[in-house]
Chain A
Amino acid sequence: MSRDATRLRVSRALTRWFAALWPPLGFGALVLGGWEAGARWGGLDPMMLPAPSEIATQLRLGFESGIYPMHLGVTLLQAMIGFVIAILAGVGVGALVSATPLVERTLNPFLIAFEAMPKIAMAPLVIVWFGYGIWSKVVLAAAIAFFPVLVSTILGLRACEPGRLDVLHSLGASRAQVFRLVRLPSALPFIFSGVNVAVVFVLLGAIVGEFVGAKAGLGTLILAANENLETARVFSILGLLAGMGMLLHFGVTAVRQRLLFWAGPQAGPPTA
């Protein structure tokens, strides 16, 4: 009985998976197939659009030579340090701003001005300040990813249900207790939507920083390959970046599900 039940369950799960996955998989196969055919027989210029098989070869070569892992490691390290800084600073400043009205009134115009400025424009200056090593990239990544975390933290801390606060206040709880026991956990669903944006922004910051000036990283690889007109290599690195971004996004989602088991599943906001 149980074997049949198990078999039934497995087949049902497979059916569900297939139902969910066939549209994107089918679409991807169609696009790649058409692209490959166009490159082989349709006269697509390999300088513009190299064949997917050629891109895959470049990806394999890059990994076999150890060049991609090394540069990937540098970019990832910069992005992750920037990510941690952005979260700590975003949540910290957000908590400070929403805890003290005077601080909020003082900082608000500056925060808005800084947010409105395209942070990428600071890249050359940041390189001058922090040099060609990893720290200029870390700073750039953190600066870009800081705002989504800050804004979502402020919104989340503001959105706390007054009833929950009443419970703590009626017990004479201290401000620190109110923050730790109610405000921060209440704000977490909001904060995570900011973190989801931030994880993509740190990659952006790191790559732009590498474009402007760096010794290593996937951004420098893209520039070098582009100068040599190795278009397939450029595509392979773009594919690598896309895959990495997706993995980071899923990582954040996994952490969210662990921490926010109580908030129910929720698709992340569009990662701008």
Chain B
Amino acid sequence: MMATPLIAVRELSKVYPTAKGERVQALSRINLEIGQGEFVSLVGPSGCGKTTVLRILAGLIADYTGDVSVSGKALHGPSREVGVVFQDANLMPWRTALANVMLPAEVLGLNRRLARARAQELLGMVGLEGFERKLPGELSGGMRQRVAIARALIHDPAVLLLDEPFGALDAMTRDTMNVELAAIAARSKKTVFLITHSIAEAVFLSDRVLVMSSRPGRIVEVIPVALPRPRGLDIIADPAFAATVLRIRRLLDGDTASALPSIAH
């Protein structure tokens, strides 16, 4: 099944120097493989280093040890094979929705006319047809994050990296966005790597869930999600769904036994 992993991370460690000159082990010997077309989530408590993993894959952090490869090629800095959706939409407020989606094409020097057509198509796919000329300030939080997803896909990367993309949205919008994200992932046939602290969200979307613990950040367990697709929101009532969520919950509670029980979404 894992003949040619699209993303391969081996013995990845990362140390942050603190202001006092101490060294904090943020990541310790992370190993993971993600196959072509797979949807994998990484869950863990706040500050466990999940975002550091994503930023390394996005090419935003360079000083780590270990090997990271995407599409069989060792990663050296940002890769065209990767599209990133951040916690905040990070749209340029002076650009229309369409121009925001086209931004990566501009940076990468892609054909303008083709990029424009593709941006239009992607905005349609994320449900924003007719909003091409709107400025970010005229869009709701959910709509802005849809634009960010379209922007991450404009240069047709093999991998979509998502860093808690719906963390800032209200619960209802978040549910809707998760259903749509599942559909977008299925339609675009992209490999997706999602960082989240919501166990339910991870189980709902993923083929596999990687559970991380903190200090130092390491992967403690890989949980396969054996639920049929396509999944609707009513899957929450499925006993298998509840069982998987509970299993991950227990793993994380063990990690933060002394802390207050966190309220999962």
Contact = CB atoms under 8 A, between A and B. Distances in A.
Contact of A171 (B87, B88, B90, B107): B107
Interface string B109-123: 000000000000000
B60 A166 contact: yes
Given A181-B103, A181-B107, A170 B82 contact: yes
Given A185-B92, A185-B94, A167 B86 contact: yes
Nearest to B84: A170
Interface string B3-21: 0000000000000000000
B137 interface: yes
B90 A164 contact: yes
A74 interface: no
User: Is chain B's binding surface mostly helix, strand, loop or mixed?
Assistant: loop
Interface string A176-205: 010001100100000000000000000000
Nearest to A178: B107
B137 A166 contact: no
A171 B93 contact: no
A45 to B, nearest CB: 56
Interface in B74-129: 77-80, 82, 84, 86-88, 90, 92-94, 103-104, 106-108
A263 interface: yes
Interface in A183-235: 185
Given A170-B60, A181-B92, A185-B92, A163 B107 contact: no
Contacts of B137: 262, 264
A168 B104 CA distance: 8
Contact of A163 (B58, B79, B80, B88): B88
Among A167, A169, A182, the one with the most B-chain Cβ atoms within 10 Å of its Cβ is: A167
Contacts of A42: none
Given A181-B106, A181-B107, A170 B78 contact: yes
A177 B104 CA distance: 11
B94 A167 contact: no
Contacts of B72: none
Interface in B24-79: 58-60, 77-79
Contacts of B94: 185, 260-263
A68 to B, nearest CB: 41
B93 A262 contact: yes
A166 B94 CA distance: 17
A242 interface: no
B135 interface: yes
Interface in A64-104: none
Contacts of B58: 166, 170
B106 A167 contact: no
Interface in A214-272: 260-264
Contacts of A171: 78, 104, 107-108, 155
Contacts of B77: 172
Contact of B78 (A169, A260, A263): A169
Contacts of A172: 59, 77-80, 107-108
Among A172, A177, A185, A261, the one with the most B-chain Cβ atoms within 10 Å of its Cβ is: A172
A22 B108 CA distance: 56
Contacts of B84: 166-167, 170
Contacts of A177: 107
A164 B94 CA distance: 12
Contact of B86 (A166, A173, A185, A263): A166
Interface in A140-172: 161, 163-164, 166-172
B118 to A, nearest CB: 16
A173 B109 CA distance: 10
Interface of A: 161, 163-164, 166-173, 177, 181-182, 185, 260-264
Q: 9 tightest CB-CB pairs across the interface, nearest first? A: A172-B78, A163-B90, A262-B94, A171-B107, A262-B93, A170-B58, A170-B84, A173-B107, A163-B88
18 contacts: A163-B86, A163-B90, A166-B58, A166-B60, A166-B84, A170-B82, A170-B84, A171-B78, A171-B107, A171-B108, A171-B155, A172-B80, A172-B107, A181-B103, A181-B106, A181-B107, A182-B92, A263-B93
